[in-house]
A and B are shown apart, each in its own frame.
Chain A
Amino acid sequence: MAKVFEKPHALSDVSMHYCPGCTHGIIHRLVAEVIDELGIEGRTIGVAPVGCSVFAYNYFECDMQEAAHGRAPAVATGIKRAVKDSIVFTYQGDGDLAAIGTAETVHAAARGENITIIFVNNAIYGMTGGQMAPTSLVGQVTQTTPYGRDTSTQGYPIRVCEMLSQVEGAAYLERVAVNNIPNIRKAKKAIKKAFQNQIDGKGFSLIEVLSICPTNWGMSPQESMKWLEENMMPVYPLGVYKDKEQGEA
């Protein structure tokens, strides 16, 4: 018998702190598998965010740098420009990337920085205990929207891929999900493309990954997967939002 599945080398062997069933762990593994397959562990530098994935620097075997909340794309810009042959990725939640860090995100895309962004959209602030995120759905109950997100006072969800598809500097934008096996395979393919784009010098690539937060959604991991499919996917359709190579998607 041959091994057909084992931990990727680029993922460290420590036990991750994430809640049971949290899909941050799957997304970490996919990134590590891609780093292995592209053979770039030695020259990859990851930038960790503030949020539940703040300890991501403990989980990847490549070099890692922690950024202040939301500033990962700015930190990644500096690293990429200073260490030109490095492969630089950021790993950010929706609070980090689409609330406090919106400016850094948009401007890194506008400048066409040759970096890879892994954007984990779980429609909530996980680390701080389940407050509304810019990506929370209309009507979604959170700690700060106990009667559901009300558009008259809390506005509407931000669709990051759709928004950035209007930014000329962005090269590749795709939204994927990790709610079942076929989608996890597709998510890996997208992440691989986003890293390959950087190797090929194609510019700014962002992969938005729909993810679950069973703890703060108040559901089991299995129920959360279903909730993602039934409630998040209609608001955040999967697909390629921009591929400069193919023209506008």
Chain B
Amino acid sequence: MAKVTFNEQKCKGCGLCVSVCPKKIISFADNLNAKGFKPAQVVNMDECIGCASCAIICPDCVIEVER
């Protein structure tokens, strides 16, 4: 079991997490955050393996990972 939590107000929607997720479960939300970006999100958390690749490449420390 694993879980990622996005601090959506800090996200700048750069998409680097989307490009490295081995499970391809990260997408962009439809809403805008206060900065005006569509923040990254995981809809299907059951598929997350907690590898933390997304968090390691995130330049803005948006993501916390639990496993």
Report B7-35 residues with CB < 8 Å from chain A CB.
Answer: 9-10, 12-16, 19-20, 35
| Chain A contacts with B in 114-147, Cβ cutoff 8 A | none
**At the interface with chain B, which of A14-22, A47-55, A84-92, A101-109?**
A14-22
Shortest C-beta distance, B29 to chain A (Å), equals 15
Whether a CB of chain A sits under 8 angstroms from the CB of B43 is: no
Tell me, yes or no, whether A25 is within 8 Å of chain B by CB. yes
- B11, chain A: closest CB distance, angstroms: 9
Out of A1, A15, A22, name the residue touching B2 (CB < 8 Å): A1
- CB pair B57–A5 under 8 Å, yes or no, is no
Residues of A within 8 A of B14 (CB): 20-21, 214, 221
Could you show 26 A-B contacts with beta carbons less than 8 Å apart? A1-B1, A1-B3, A1-B67, A2-B66, A5-B52, A5-B55, A6-B64, A7-B64, A16-B59, A18-B60, A20-B12, A20-B13, A20-B14, A20-B37, A22-B59, A25-B58, A26-B58, A29-B59, A180-B57, A181-B53, A181-B57, A185-B56, A220-B15, A221-B14, A222-B19, A225-B16
The secondary structure that dominates the B interface is: loop
User: Are B1 and A11 in contact, CB atoms less than 8 angstroms apart?
Assistant: no
Given the known interface contacts A1-B67, A2-B66, the answer about A26 and B19 at a Cβ–Cβ threshold of 8 Å is no
Number of interface residues of B (CB under 8 A): 29
B15 and A25 within 8 A (CB): no
- Are B20 and A1 neighbours in the complex by a CB distance under 8 Å? no
Residue A184 is within 8 A (CB to CB) of chain B in the complex: yes
- B3 x A15 contact (CB < 8 A): no
User: Do the beta carbons of A21 and B59 come within 8 Å of each other?
Assistant: yes
Q: A16 near B64 (CB under 8 angstroms)?
A: no
From A6, A18, A24, A221, B16 is in contact (CB under 8 Å) with A221
Contacts known (A1-B1, A2-B67, A221-B15); A15 close to B60, Cβ less than 8 A:
yes
Chain A residues near B64: list those with CB within 8 A: 3, 5-7
A4 within 8 A of B: yes
Asked if B67 and A25 sit within 8 Å, CB to CB, the answer is no
Most buried by B among A5, A220, A225: A5
In the bound complex, CA of A242 to CA of B37 (Å): 43
* Chain A residue contacts of B63, Cβ below 8 A: 5
Residues of chain B contacted by A16 (CB below 8 angstroms): 59-60
- How distant is the Cα of A67 from the Cα of B39 in the complex, in angstroms? 35
Q: Does A26 contact B57, Cβ atoms closer than 8 Å?
A: yes
The verdict on A23 contacting chain B, using a C-beta distance below 8 Å, is: yes
**Are A21 and B61 closer than 8 Å at their CB atoms?**
no
- Would you call A15 and B66 a contact (CB within 8 A)? no
The CA-CA distance from A214 to B16 in the complex, in Å, is: 12
